[in-house]
Amino acid sequence: MSSNLGDIYLGTVAIEPNRWGLAEPGGHPLTRVSEWLPAISEAGFDGLELWERHARSVPDEELDALLASEVPVRILSCYTSWDEPDDADRTETAAWIERVGAQGVKFNVGSDPDAIADYTDRLRRFESEVPDGARLLCECHFGTVAEDPNVARDMFDSIADADRLGAIVHVHPGARDEWSEPLGVLGDRVRHVHVQVAEYPQATSSDELGEVLRPAAEAISAASPAATWTIEFSYGMWGFGRDDAELDNPAYILQSAQRDLAALRAAL
């Protein structure tokens, strides 16, 4: 199963001001990721966790530039509905994984506890559509049934092994602990980590931030050496205690993300 142990990716959602549809109605992307690939490469990231709209909602020439780049798309971050009984959109998502050459797909299951059996059946069919060699990475997000790691474990165990189907946990030191309980239950099923450090201004050094990240980084790496990582939220993003978007632009956030990358590498 394709993975690059310890790799750290940039989540392109970080450099997208319209990630939550707050900048302009409709949620369409404003950032052309291809324009920032040289800076992303120079920063030292091992690849991209590409927000699906940065591939599926852009002109053909932008998609061509992304696919021609030496900066690889390692994970396609998708928001396909798991409450929709029809598999058509999930099948299309699986086709996009192959189209962008991703080694994994991030997805979220639904939030209805009465639909766990349905989600499991849909996940089983989705797994059969995802290209061989690509990892299925379920974000154990609060508000979804996978927030309960016991539910996630039972779903995953009925479908595929950890190399094929793993969990994503969040390291968000500025908020609640979202990783230790899932790690305790899922162990090496935790195959990817979203690092969210948007509360730490650029005045915080990489050494200081590295010490903040170290407990989680060391624990996760020890329990799941195959885990990969994404810098998902970095300082400058609209929200996180700020009411304006003054700093929410790719250039500024990439500066923050480069600091975050150095901190995480040191912590690992």
Burial of 27 (0-12, 13-18, 19+ CB in 10 A): middle
Across the range 80-89, mean pLDDT stands at 96
Token code pair at residue 87:
């598999």
Reported as a pLDDT band with limits 50, 70 and 90, residue 207 is very high
Reported as a pLDDT band with limits 50, 70 and 90, residue 132 is very high
Helices (H), 130-205: 149-157, 180-186
Burial of 146 (0-12, 13-18, 19+ CB in 10 A): buried
Sign of the torsion angle spanned by Cα atoms 42, 44, 48, 49: negative
Within the chain, what is the greatest distance between any pair of CA atoms?
A: 49
Q: Could you tell me how many helices (H) and strands (E) the chain has, helices first?
A: 9, 8
Reported as a pLDDT band with limits 50, 70 and 90, residue 2 is very low
Reported as a pLDDT band with limits 50, 70 and 90, residue 240 is low
pLDDT, tens digit, for every residue of 140-194? 988 999 999 999 999 999 999 999 999 999 999 988 888 999 999 999 999 999 9
pTM summary value = 0.95
Q: How far apart (Å, rounded) are the C-alpha atoms in residues 225 and 107?
A: 22
Q: What is the pLDDT of residue 93?
A: 97
Query: Chain-wide mean pLDDT for the chain?
Result: 94
14 pLDDT more than 60? yes
Assess contact for 86 and 60: CB atoms under 8 A: no
Across the range 235-242, mean pLDDT stands at 75
pLDDT, tens digit, for every residue of 34-52? 999 999 999 999 999 999 9
Fold of 8-267: TIM Barrel (3.20.20)
3 pLDDT more than 70? no
244 pLDDT more than 60? yes
